[in-house]
Amino acid sequence: MAAITPVSRDSNLYLYKGFCFLKDMMPPEFIDSLKDFKIRDDDIFLITYPKSGTIWTQQILSLICSEGHRNGTEKIDTNERVPWFECQILNPDVDYNSLPSPRLFVSHLSETFIPQGLKNKKAKIIYVMRNPKDVMKSCYHFQAIVNLAEESPDFKHFFEKYLDGEVLAGKWFDHIRGWHTHKDDYNILFLKYEDMIRDLRSAVKQICTFLGVELDDEAMDIVVKRATFKEMKTDPLANRENLPGEHFNFKAGSFMRKGQVGDWKNIMTVAQSELFDKIFQEKMGDLSLNFCWQIPQ
Ligand code: PPS
């Protein structure tokens, strides 16, 4: 087994093959075993770096794939409908192997750890990315809610911790690079959070086309409406407030915080932003990827 390294700024995490895992919930033997998880041709994986639009796309996927969700006859929590793949410990009574098809999974895993069966190019992956400054700000606020992370005393501390990848999922740059450079190995659709903000209906249509699902106008209207920030914030099945109280403190905030593009400007100093831009250029400059850092109001 590869070396396991402690994470100096967060004792809840360990570093393994360049990725930061939760010590108590994701043992390395289990993580290694996921490569052999048996993939079905109709599996759908949603993959994100944390705070990039996961819960949002989970809701969209669930609404697209389940008529019962759309018409309100099924009251299933989105986390149950689209379970967290590498955190099966949260669902000890569920056997992920025998879930009915089509299975929907959500994951923050980097490309290194993903089941090999996804390379059959039949099963589908939707990868959602978000500009990393907003991801950083969202992660920073999230520390107050989640008991699974050691809280940074201030943003300066968190800024350095995030750049060093001492947060769940490790370095944002590595995650994006890994998935982007291996994109041709998978049947994968890349989406950007900011494009979803600009035009949610088009994003939903893109997902439907990728999944081969045809929705009539009425169904499409329901999906788009129920996936708006305003609707999701008050939807207990979608906003994750049903998650185990021992891990989360919802008095301190919510998964549904602001849902905006450019909020990083309210916390980053000019010097931090310039440093980030420099590192971004060094690490990502050679990739054909553009990010939207701000949308004029
Ligand atoms: S997690 O913990 O990794 O699953 O978090 P994740 O769901 O990836 O990201 C949370 C951020 O997504 C925002 N969000 C939305 N934005 C726009 N529209 C909708 N419907 C929506 N749903 C969730 C959420 O507010 C978090 O971003 P911030 O910037 O913190 O508000």
CA of 257 to the centre of ligand 1 (A): 7
pLDDT of residue 115: 98
CB 37 within 8 A of CB 115: yes
Question: For a pocket test of ligand 1, which of 25, 51, 85 has the largest count of ligand atoms closer than 8 A to its C-beta?
Answer: 51
The answer to whether residue 25 is domain-embedded is no
Is 202 domain-assigned? yes
Is 77 contained in some domain? Answer: yes
What integer pLDDT is reported at residue 110 of this predicted model? 98
Confidence at residue 90, expressed as pLDDT on a 0 to 100 scale: 79
Task: Specify if 213 maps to a domain.
Answer: yes
Sign of the Cα torsion 248, 163, 129, 134 reads positive
Question: To test the ligand 1 pocket, which listed residue (47, 254, 256) has its Cβ within 8 A of the most ligand atoms?
Answer: 256
Q: What tens digit of pLDDT does each residue of 23-75 get?
A: 989 999 999 999 999 999 999 999 999 999 999 999 999 999 999 999 999 99
Let me know if residue 296 belongs to a domain: no
Contact 84, 106 (CB under 8 A): yes
Nearest to 16 by CA among 5, 1, 29, 32: 5
Nearest CA to ligand 1 atom 3: 50
Give the model confidence (pLDDT) of 228-254 as tens digits: 999 999 998 888 887 777 788 888 888
In a domain, 28, yes or no: no
The helix (run of H) or strand (run of E) holding residue 59 is helix 54-65
Ligand 1 centre distance from Cα of residue 55 (Å): 6
Number of domains present in the structure of the chain: 1
Longest CA span, the chain: 53
Nearest-10 Cα torsion for 244, 248, 250, 255: -100
Please report the atom of ligand 1 found closest to the CA of residue 58.
7
- Give pLDDT, residue 239: 85
Cα 276 to Cα 264: distance, rounded to the nearest angstrom: 12
Q: Distance from the CA of 54 to the center of ligand 1, in angstroms?
A: 7
Residue 5 lies in a domain: no
What H or E segment, with its residue span, contains residue 205?
helix 200-211
Q: Cα(139)–Cα(279) distance, rounded to whole angstroms?
A: 19
Residues annotated as catalytic are 108
Q: Which atom of ligand 1 is nearest to the CA of 231?
A: 20
pLDDT, position 2? 82
pLDDT score at 201: 98
- pTM value is 0.97
Give every strand in the sheet of 13-16, ordered side by side: 4-6, 13-16, 19-22
- 10 falls within a domain: no
> Which residues pair with residue 107 across a beta bridge?
47
Q: Which residues line ligand 1 (CB under 6 A)?
A: 48, 50-56, 134, 138, 141, 227-229, 232, 255-259, 263
Domain that holds residue 213: 39-284
Taking the centre of ligand 1 as the mean of its atom positions, its distance from the CA of residue 1, in whole angstroms, is 35
pLDDT of residue 121: 92
**CATH number of the structural domain spanning residue 209:** 3.40.50.300
Mean pLDDT by 10 residues, the chain (297 residues): 90 95 94 97 98 97 97 91 91 91 98 97 97 98 89 96 96 98 98 98 98 98 98 90 80 91 98 98 95 91
For the CA of 134, the closest atom of ligand 1 is 29
